[in-house]
Chain A
């Protein structure tokens, strides 16, 4: 008997409903159907939208599937809080979460928005923070965790290059204010709190302008 069937028998013995791990093979096709409701904001192609002076909807296309799934679980379980997102996350069961995540992860990456009007000084500061950091303020570069090209590392550190400026800015501000804290070991929170509003704006616009190649 392999460990999976042991787990199944154990689950049956204990009168549990189906062991979630059993049903977690991701199916992007099923995900597409389950994601129909997501498209209203995140768009059918997963491109999301930069909304100036409002709540931007992040691009999901091409993000790491594990990262998307983790965020959905965090919304459901209250570790990440957002009034618009929470009810939708609650509509998804564990299976739908892995399916939806797999679906968006496979979609071709679209361009980041919201960086068109950035000025040169802002872009220079943004590039510095993204690629080299500002150690005088102990701001570690984005790249040191989000990876070469800031395209993400595993399911822990999401791709941030080519993400909408409005979304990045809002998230960093949320970390700074303690409104978002679902990062591992406060790795992002600690750094966000050392950034000022101009830093956050600069890095958000610079990142939004960085092209990302689809897998």
Chain B
């Protein structure tokens, strides 16, 4: 089987009202792989590629900055020890350079922010949202607002959103990691372990430490010190289940059943990882404080199914030196509150 491909004449293609054949054709490959097809009324956007950037009619310095953003996005390890303290790149979870539907495509952030965010209960800018990724998913401390790295990452996000209207009313096709239907059976640790060993361990290692070759990162760690911390979005079981269903094993999306995806997500998210940076010194208290806005979806601060271990009951930060990065717990617009 060879899938037909066509080169886009223009950078990106967006469809706001109705679904054009052009936009559909771009995602034909995904649909053939079993992904849901765009539905009537959805905003279907095909973000421009780096090749499109080469040909784009924009200032050469802007091109350079967008390229720098792309480079940071796909090789975030270059910020290791400064902003990143685990083994992740942005593109470890946002596959396809942040362009891919059902893989947390990142361009929607550029057209839906600033917006209120439930996780921190205030209005966030694009930079603050990116800072959140650094604090949790990268177990790090974000680059400063307005810094070169922040600007480059923001510019890359905005470039990917080229042509999409700001604050679109329509639902976005493939946005985030769409929640799977509830599994028929409650997620199970032992079944999840079985799936992990059969489907994941070959790359990510039995002990979840991922894989390094000659000191260079190849496969990210699904848990442990090299992984995201307990406060990262993907430590929510439903997010991990969706990420896996739509993206794993690499190159074979949609190959696991929903039940397998839920089970293996439950297994992975039942393992230890660096502490939630919002840790108060007491895991049960921390869970309670952020239960409604976040931890009701994680296993943090609960007793593990198969052995009763209290998850997250430690002050281990992995390689990170300070628990609370500068961007967390900063109130906004206090003066607008009653």
Contact = CB atoms under 8 A, between A and B. Distances in A.
B42 interface: no
Interface string B242-267: 00000001111100000000000000
B216 A140 contact: no
Contact of B202 (A134, A135, A137, A184): A184
B79 interface: no
Contacts of B29: 136-138, 194
A147 B213 contact: yes
A170 interface: no
Interface stretch (A32-40, A90-98, A151-159): A151-159
Interface of A: 132-138, 140, 144-145, 147-148, 151-154, 156, 184-187, 190-191, 193-197
A162 B202 CA distance: 25
A152 B2 contact: no
B250 to A, nearest CB: 6
Given A135-B96, A194-B3, A140 B218 contact: no
A134 B211 CA distance: 23
Given A145-B203, A187-B250, A135 B213 contact: no
A136 B202 contact: no
Interface string B216-260: 111100000000000000000000000000000111110000000
Contacts of B217: 148
Top 5 nearest A-B pairs (CB, nearest first) are A135-B96, A148-B216, A196-B2, A147-B213, A140-B251
Interface in B1-24: 1-3, 5
A185 B252 contact: yes
Interface string B71-97: 000100000000000000000000111
Contact of B252 (A134, A135, A152, A190): A190
Contact of A148 (B5, B74, B203, B213): B213
A43 B293 CA distance: 65
Nearest to A131: B74
B5 A138 contact: no
Given A137-B29, A147-B213, A186 B252 contact: yes
22 contacts: A135-B97, A136-B26, A137-B29, A138-B30, A140-B251, A147-B216, A147-B218, A148-B216, A148-B218, A151-B214, A153-B211, A154-B211, A156-B202, A184-B202, A187-B249, A187-B250, A194-B1, A194-B3, A194-B29, A196-B2, A196-B3, A196-B5
Given A136-B49, A148-B218, A191-B251, 17 more contacts: A132-B97, A135-B96, A135-B100, A136-B29, A137-B29, A138-B29, A138-B253, A144-B218, A145-B218, A148-B217, A151-B213, A153-B211, A153-B218, A194-B1, A194-B2, A194-B29, A195-B2
Nearest to A146: B218
B206 to A, nearest CB: 13
Contacts of A133: 96
A208 B2 CA distance: 23
